[in-house]
């Protein structure tokens, strides 16, 4: 049973959101004003709209729900359907108001929308009604691109959703998922699941824009616990529509543009439905079936439902047009009348109806039998019902059987598809193997002769197998060629048989040519790609090979680096210890010799540290080279993978293109067959028409004669009618001239008004854009002012005082403030212009203006005049458009030519780039080959260096042991030297006493310079014998011990400095030489600045050669002989290691002075035999050569004769064997 109620209008609630930050930054102003205490809104200055509820921007969500939505929930429990519909522009707050983005975390927040609050209120009411049993089911769908998608279904493609109409229940959705919920938490989880599956995207107007219409439906069924047959059903639809949008504002492209078009199409249909339902004229057609959205909302709009529309608008003046359209649609929706009824369970209603019918029949039966009911009343089922039940059972069984067969067929189809894929893969592998066999078979060998020459049976069998394979390959290739030839012949025959129109053949040829060119282009690209890929792979292999060879070197270098770092650390520690010892030794004068040795050791350590650091740098560079090679290899591998993917895509594209071409060819063949069939039918129809034509021509010939007579009679009647019509036209034209002028004037005004309106809209958009730019400039200036980034433009480079800087900062702040004020003034001016234009547009585009426009045309004559005028204007505009199109076409042609040239240039550039890339790859390959060669050479050099280091380390150990022995001998010599000096002092004292005694006895006169102190024992210089009487002796000079120490240290230091500067080490060892008989002038040497080529040179004048004592330049001197010096001829021999030695030892003349120092002994004497003073002083015979002689010891005196003048005297003193260490030279260790 259904209860009918009076028509109830759709209730409309207007909700205005506040300005968003983007609109505020663009300088937008409020275009809506609200009347306090009244549900009324004013647009502009005087255009007002009244609704059931109006909520200003300050209204909270809770107030909106309690005021507008909560009353609908009470009706739901009474059995009425209800709908809450959110409508408006995109970004106007529809999803926010409905709660479409709700999650469980927002449960207690004040921003919760309508849907979560509805769920809470429903379950609160259910808890209150304990005498009812409730069953709740929820469903959630969206309409995306005019397709219905189930948001609660895990797989949207699982079921097909269709819309059906039930005469009892209204609109039903078949295939939609409905979930039964028991508590509010289950309902909220379903809502969250649907919200997560809903289609949302970002546009220029809204970062979270809904791209679909969403409908969340709650089905409520309630039964009384006392009466199970009494039940009610109701549905609550909560609809969140997608917003209408303009492509110019949203800047949508691609999928977003397609979505926007479908959204606007659905909303247009909804607007048409609202307009049709809100029309005052009853009985009009309502286009519910134009879209799926209006089909689903059929009950909500004009049907069985209490409906609330929440119209969401934006208050910004930049959205005034969209806001005005929303307000107009909402005003029309208020005129829609719904007829809601209480929804009783149809089964319960049918049961009650049948019970009433049974009662009525029983009453009638009692009346027919006189008040008594017969006892034997048996109810038998009818034969028709039995047959229908049997038929139904058989159909059910057949359906189950077919369903099982369908599932089995689907499984077999899936298996066959897998087999097909596997077969294709196996086919590709077999083709690859066949190609390999062809390549192997390409080398044409005379296998028969090879079999005859072979003796091994197994080899003969293998050769026979190869022959069989070659024959098989040849047969397969012949069969393939034959099949291809047959297919080509068949295709040629089919093409020859087909007779198509010229246009079809031309299009087919064009498509075939295009396909062939495309295939050729892709083949060319594939060949080039394969070449580049081969080059890249070869380069990668080469670099990988280099990398593999670098790997052991890298490990070796890492170990070497660690060892060298440890050695450097140890040497640094030793250096620091030596420096400390040197500093300590400088304070002690007695340890001068020891400090000298430590200083030499310190310099050696510094040299070793520098060499080790150099080796560290070189090995670090090689490690960096290894890392760069690894990066290059990884980059090449990545490029190879990309090129392989590109090759696969290209091959797939070629395959798809070939498949498309095959399908196109097949389609064309079918069309040709159909055309041939149609041609045969046309031939048959043509013959049939020819026969009919013959029959009709006979009939017409007979009737023509009859028509000729009738035509003669008609001519007279037509002439009379023409005369009457001419008279009527003359009378009408007199009255038409005034009507045409009036209509023309009115249409001109209307067109001018419409053009002015469109221009005003364009100017309005320009003003809005200008204000947006001004607002952005103001925001930037404010940020600049707040952050303090206000440097004055182009400050000169000078020093500013604090007051000047503050003044400049204040001036810049003032200038920024002035700029902001001027820009804000300009924005206010733009806002005033925008408001004025919008008000004028509102006045010009009033809702009644289209009706008034067409009311001025009342008669057919006025319509004809208006049409004639409009046609003339249209023709003139068309001519102008054609001119513009022709010029545009010419421009496009020139542009196409330029694009073609650009395309050719790009192709040329691509070819050059490919060649350069190939050249680069070749150069890189050559570089890698050179690197490989250098690496091999480096390994060889490292092996040689390692061997050399081993030999040097052995020599170093020997030298160290020898040096240790020498240190011990030097200590002994130092003790002997001290004893010798003590004896010399005693001897000098005795001599002085003897001299004093002789003087006292007047036997000898004491010279003035002989009265010396006992401490200056070495100051005495005995009188020199005459040069003519001296045959051969050493030069003697008077100097003390400190001079000897200084000379020795200076010579050693100069020798070490010379070794550091000289690149080629001098392996000659210095030894004292015999002195020849020379004059005093020859000993001094010459001091020439030139070549010593004339007799101005003292040495040439004396007929002698220049020597080491000469001050002339040895590189320019022409008075020098190879292998001789001023002191004597030295003969040198070269040993196995390239060092030179003096062959003849120094001969000491007997009878020399007793005061010759101990160091005058030759360095070949055994130092440990000098422990006795008597043996040192006697010097009768030269000692035997020492086994500890070091051939590696180098001289220090002969290499520095050309240095500065102050050091020559001391060098000559060292050369004359007067120094303590003149017979010894510092040990030079070979650098490792």
Residue 1125 token pair:
């010096």
Cα 974 off chain centre by:
79
Q: Taking residues 680-705, report their average pLDDT.
A: 75
Distance CA 198, CA 175 (A): 18
Can you give the pLDDT at residue 1062? 42
Return the higher-pLDDT residue of 420 and 73.
Answer: 73
Can you give the pLDDT at residue 724? 66
Longest Cα pair distance anywhere in the chain, in angstroms?
A: 206
Distance CA 140, CA 177 (A): 8
Q: Any binding-site annotation on 90?
A: yes
pLDDT at 519 over 90: no
Q: Any binding-site annotation on 444?
A: no
pLDDT at 502 over 60: no
Q: Any binding-site annotation on 95?
A: yes
pLDDT at 637 over 90: no
Nearest to 342, CA basis, from 218, 238, 234: 234
Q: Taking residues 886-905, report their average pLDDT.
A: 90
Residue 712 token pair:
């003669």
Q: Reduced to 3 DSSP states, what percent helix, strand and coil does the chain have, rounded to the nearest 5?
A: 65, 10, 30
Residue 384 token pair:
């028709």
- Which of 99-103, 831-835, 1012-1016 has the lowest average pLDDT? 1012-1016
Distance CA 1128, CA 1121 (A): 11
How many angstroms separate the Cα of 336 from the Cα of each of 76, 322, 330, 692?
20, 22, 10, 61
**Percent of the chain at pLDDT exceeding 70:** 64
Distance CA 1080, CA 1094 (A): 21
- Which of 661-665, 773-777, 792-796, 943-947 has the lowest average pLDDT? 792-796
Most confident by average pLDDT, 367-376, 966-975, 1163-1172? 966-975
In terms of C-beta density within 10 A (0-12 exposed, 13-18 middle, 19 or more buried), how is residue 526 classed? middle
Residue 1136 token pair:
């196995």
pLDDT at 151 over 50: yes
Distance CA 413, CA 359 (A): 60
Find the helix packing angle between 457-497 and 383-442, rounded to 10°. 120
- Dihedrals phi, psi of 1119, to nearest 5 degrees: -105, 25
Q: What is the rounded end-to-end Cα distance, in angstroms, of the chain? A: 114
Return the higher-pLDDT residue of 635 and 1064.
Answer: 635
- Which of 329-338, 420-429, 871-880, 1019-1028 has the lowest average pLDDT? 1019-1028
Most confident by average pLDDT, 389-393, 695-699, 819-823, 979-983? 979-983
19-64 pLDDT tens trace: 888 888 888 888 888 988 888 999 877 788 899 999 999 889 899 9
Report DSSP state, residue 69.
Answer: I
Q: Taking residues 73-89, report their average pLDDT.
A: 88
Distance CA 1002, CA 996 (A): 9
Distance CA 652, CA 517 (A): 17
| Helices H / strands E in the chain, number of each | 24, 22
Distance CA 86, CA 242 (A): 9
Q: pLDDT averaged over the chain?
A: 71
Can you give the pLDDT at residue 1038? 41
pLDDT at 160 over 80: no
Return the higher-pLDDT residue of 454 and 517.
Answer: 517
Q: Taking residues 840-848, report their average pLDDT.
A: 67
Q: Any binding-site annotation on 67?
A: no
Most confident by average pLDDT, 595-609, 818-832, 1204-1218? 818-832
pLDDT-based confidence at residue 821 (cuts at 50, 70, 90): confident
Q: Any binding-site annotation on 562?
A: no
- Which of 70-84, 757-771, 1178-1192 has the lowest average pLDDT? 1178-1192
526-577 pLDDT tens trace: 667 777 777 777 777 777 777 666 667 667 777 777 777 787 788 778 778 7
pLDDT-based confidence at residue 1175 (cuts at 50, 70, 90): very low
Q: Any binding-site annotation on 1085?
A: no
Can you give the pLDDT at residue 791? 45
Contact present, 629 and 543 (Cβ < 8 Å): yes
pLDDT-based confidence at residue 1122 (cuts at 50, 70, 90): low
Q: Taking residues 392-411, report their average pLDDT.
A: 76
User: In sequence order, which residues have a C-beta less than 8 Å from that of residue 503 and are 6 or more positions away?
Assistant: none
Q: Taking residues 678-691, report their average pLDDT.
A: 80
Q: Taking residues 946-969, report their average pLDDT.
A: 86
Can you give the pLDDT at residue 139? 92
Torsion of CA 13, 19, 23, 28, to 10 degrees: 90
Q: Taking residues 492-516, report their average pLDDT.
A: 49
pLDDT at 778 over 50: yes
pTM: 0.42
Return the higher-pLDDT residue of 1169 and 179.
Answer: 179
Distance CA 31, CA 36 (A): 16
Can you give the pLDDT at residue 740? 73
Q: Any binding-site annotation on 75?
A: no
Distance CA 770, CA 760 (A): 15
**Percent of the chain at pLDDT exceeding 90:** 5
pLDDT at 1131 over 50: no
pLDDT at 1015 over 50: no
Find the helix packing angle between 255-277 and 320-333, rounded to 10°. 40
Length of the chain: 1232
Can you give the pLDDT at residue 859? 77
Domains of the chain: 6-343 (3.40.850.10), 515-681 (1.10.287), 698-787+813-911 (no CATH)
Q: Any binding-site annotation on 307?
A: no
Concatenated DSSP letters of 211-277? -SEEEEEEEEEEEESS-TT-EEEEEEEEEEPPPB--HHHH---THHHHHHHHHHHHHHHHHHHHHHH
pLDDT-based confidence at residue 216 (cuts at 50, 70, 90): very high
Q: Which run of H or of E encompasses 1142?
A: strand 1140-1142
- β-strand pairing of 132-144 with 147-150: antiparallel
List, in sequence order, every residue forming a beta bridge with 33; answer none if it has no partner.
42
Can you give the pLDDT at residue 338? 79
Can you give the pLDDT at residue 163? 85
């Amino acid at each position: 049973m259904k209860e009918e109620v009076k028509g109830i209008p759709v209730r409309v609630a207007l909700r205005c959101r506040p300005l968003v930050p983007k609109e505020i930054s663009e300088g937008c102003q409020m275009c809506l004003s609200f009347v306090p205490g009244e549900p009324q809104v004013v647009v502009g200055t005087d255009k007002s709209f009244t609704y059931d509820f109006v909520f200003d921007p300050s209204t909270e969500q809770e107030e909106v729900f309690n005021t507008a939505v909560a009353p609908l929930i009470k009706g739901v429990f009474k059995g009425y359907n209800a709908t809450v519909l959110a409508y408006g522009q995109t970004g106007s707050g529809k999803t926010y108001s409905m709660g479409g983005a709700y999650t469980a975390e927002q449960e207690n927040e004040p921003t919760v929308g309508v849907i979560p609050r509805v769920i809470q209120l429903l379950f609160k009411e259910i808890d209150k009604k304990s005498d009812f049993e409730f069953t709740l089911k929820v469903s959630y769908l969206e309409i995306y691109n005019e397709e219905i998608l189930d948001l609660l279904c895990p797989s949207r493609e699982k079921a097909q959703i269709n819309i059906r109409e039930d005469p009892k229940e209204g609109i039903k959705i078949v295939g939609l998922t409905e979930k039964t919920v028991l508590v509010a938490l289950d309902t909220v989880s379903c809502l969250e699941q649907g919200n997560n599956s809903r289609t949302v995207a970002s546009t220029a107007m809204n970062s979270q824009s809904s791209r679909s219409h969403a409908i969340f439906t709650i089905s409520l069924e309630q039964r009384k616990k006392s009466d199970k047959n009494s039940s009610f059903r109701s549905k609550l639809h909560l609809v969140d529509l997608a917003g209408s949008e303009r492509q110019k504002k949203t800047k949508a492209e691609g999928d977003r543009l397609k979505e926007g078009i479908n959204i606007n199409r659905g909303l247009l249909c909804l607007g048409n439905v609202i307009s049709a339902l809100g029309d005052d004229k009853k009985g009009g057609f309502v286009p519910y079936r134009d879209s799926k959205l209006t089909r689903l909302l059929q009950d909500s709009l004009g049907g069985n439902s209490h409906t609330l529309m929440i119209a969401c608008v934006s208050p910004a003046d930049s959205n005034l047009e969209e806001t005005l359209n929303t307000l107009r649609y909402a005003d029309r929706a208020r005129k829609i009348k719904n007829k809601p009824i209480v929804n009783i369970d149809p089964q319960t209603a049918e049961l009650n109806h049948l019970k009433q019918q049974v009662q009525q029949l029983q009453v009638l039966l009692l009346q027919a039998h006189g008040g008594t009911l017969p006892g034997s009343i048996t109810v038998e089922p009818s034969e028709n019902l039995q047959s229908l039940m049997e038929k139904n059972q058989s159909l059910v069984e057949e359906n189950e059987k077919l369903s099982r067969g369908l599932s089995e067929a689907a499984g077999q189809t899936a298996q066959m598809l897998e087999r097909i894929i596997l077969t294709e893969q196996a086919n590709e592998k077999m083709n690859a193997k066949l190609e390999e066999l062809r390549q192997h078979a390409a080398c044409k060998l005379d296998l028969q002769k090879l079999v005859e020459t072979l003796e091994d049976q197994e080899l003969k069998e293998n050769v026979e197998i190869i022959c069989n394979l070659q024959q098989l390959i040849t047969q397969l290739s012949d069969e393939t060629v034959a099949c291809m030839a047959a297919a080509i012949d068949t295709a040629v025959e089919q093409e020859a048989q087909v007779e198509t129109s010229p246009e079809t053949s031309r299009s087919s040829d064009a498509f075939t040519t295009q396909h062939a060119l495309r295939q050729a282009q892709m083949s060319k690209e594939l060949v080039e790609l394969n070449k580049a890929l081969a080059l890249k792979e070869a380069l990668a292999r080469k670099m990988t090979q280099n990398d593999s060879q670098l790997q052991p070197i890298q490990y070796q270098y890492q170990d070497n680096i660690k060892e060298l770092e440890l050695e450097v650390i140890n040497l640094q520690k030793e250096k620091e210890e030596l420096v400390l010892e040197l500093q300590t030794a400088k304070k002690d004068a007695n340890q001068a010799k020891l400090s000298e040795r430590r200083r030499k050791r310190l310099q050696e350590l510094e040299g070793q540290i520098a060499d080790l650091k150099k080796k560290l740098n070189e090995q670090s560079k090689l490690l960096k080279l290894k890392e760069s090679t690894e990066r290059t290899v990884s980059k090449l591998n990545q490029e190879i993978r990309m090129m392989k993917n590109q090759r696969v895509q290209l091959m797939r594209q070629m395959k798809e293109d070939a498949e498309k071409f095959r399908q196109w060819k097949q389609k064309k063949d079918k069309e040709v067959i159909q055309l041939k069939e149609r041609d045969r039918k046309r031939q048959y129809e043509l013959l049939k028409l020819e026969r009919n034509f013959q029959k009709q021509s006979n009939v017409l010939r007979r009737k023509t004669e009859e028509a000729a007579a009738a035509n003669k009679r008609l001519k007279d009647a037509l002439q009379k009618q023409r005369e009457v019509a001419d008279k009527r036209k003359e009378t009408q034209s007199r009255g038409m001239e005034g009507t045409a002028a009036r209509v023309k004037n009115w249409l001109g005004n209307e067109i001018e008004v419409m053009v002015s309106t469109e221009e005003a809209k364009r100017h309005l958009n320009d003003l809005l854009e200008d204000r947006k730019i001004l607002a952005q400039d103001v925001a930037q200036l404010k940020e600049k002012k707040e952050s303090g980034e206000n440097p004055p433009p182009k400050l000169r480079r000078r020093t500013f005082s604090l007051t000047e800087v503050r003044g400049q900062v204040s001036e810049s702040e003032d200038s920024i403030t002035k700029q902001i004020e001027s820009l804000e003034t300009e924005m206010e001016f733009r806002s005033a212009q925008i408001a004025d234009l919008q008000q004028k547009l509102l006045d010009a585009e009033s809702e009644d203006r289209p009706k008034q426009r067409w009311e001025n045309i009342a008669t057919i004559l006025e319509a004809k005049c208006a049409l004639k005028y409009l046609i003339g204007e249209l023709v003139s505009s068309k001519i102008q458009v054609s001119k513009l199109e022709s010029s545009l076409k010419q421009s496009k042609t020139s542009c196409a030519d330029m694009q073609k040239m650009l395309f050719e240039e790009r192709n040329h550039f691509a070819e050059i780039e490919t060649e350069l890339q190939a050249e680069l790859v070749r150069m890189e390959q050559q570089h890698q080959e050179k690197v490989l060669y250098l690496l091999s050479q480096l390994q060889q050099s490292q092996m040689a260096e390692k061997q050399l280091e081993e030999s040097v380390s052995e020599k170093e150990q020997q030298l160290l042991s020898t040096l240790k022995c020498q240190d011990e001998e030097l200590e002994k010599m130092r003790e002997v030297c001290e004893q010798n000096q003590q004896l010399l002092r005693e001897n000098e004292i005795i001599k002085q006493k003897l001299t004093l005694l002789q003087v006292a006895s007047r036997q000898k006169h004491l010279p003035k310079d002989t009265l010396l102190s006992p401490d200056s024992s070495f100051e005495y210089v005995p009188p020199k014998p005459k040069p003519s009487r001296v045959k051969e002796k050493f030069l003697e000079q008077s100097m003390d011990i400190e001079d000897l120490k200084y000379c020795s240290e200076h010579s050693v230091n100069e020798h070490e400095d010379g070794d550091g500067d000289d690149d080629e080490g001098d392996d000659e060892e210095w030894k004292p030489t015999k002195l020849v008989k020379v004059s005093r002038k020859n000993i001094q040497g010459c001091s020439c600045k030139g070549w010593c080529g004339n007799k101005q040179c003292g040495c040439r004048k004396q007929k002698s050669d220049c020597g080491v004592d000469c001050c002339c330049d040895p590189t320019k001197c022409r008075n020098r002989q190879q292998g001789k010096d001023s002191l004597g001829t030295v003969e040198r021999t070269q040993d196995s290691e390239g060092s030179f030695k003096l062959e003849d030892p120094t001969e000491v003349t007997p009878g020399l002075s007793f005061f010759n120092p101990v160091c005058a002994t030759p360095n070949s004497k055994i130092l440990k035999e000098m422990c006795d003073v008597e043996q040192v002083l006697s010097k009768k015979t030269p000692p035997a050569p020492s086994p500890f002689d070091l051939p590696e010891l180098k001289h220090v005196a002969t290499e520095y004769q050309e240095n500065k003048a102050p050091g020559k005297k001391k060098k000559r003193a060292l050369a004359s064997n007067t120094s303590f260490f003149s017979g010894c030279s510092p040990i030079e260790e070979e650098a490792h």
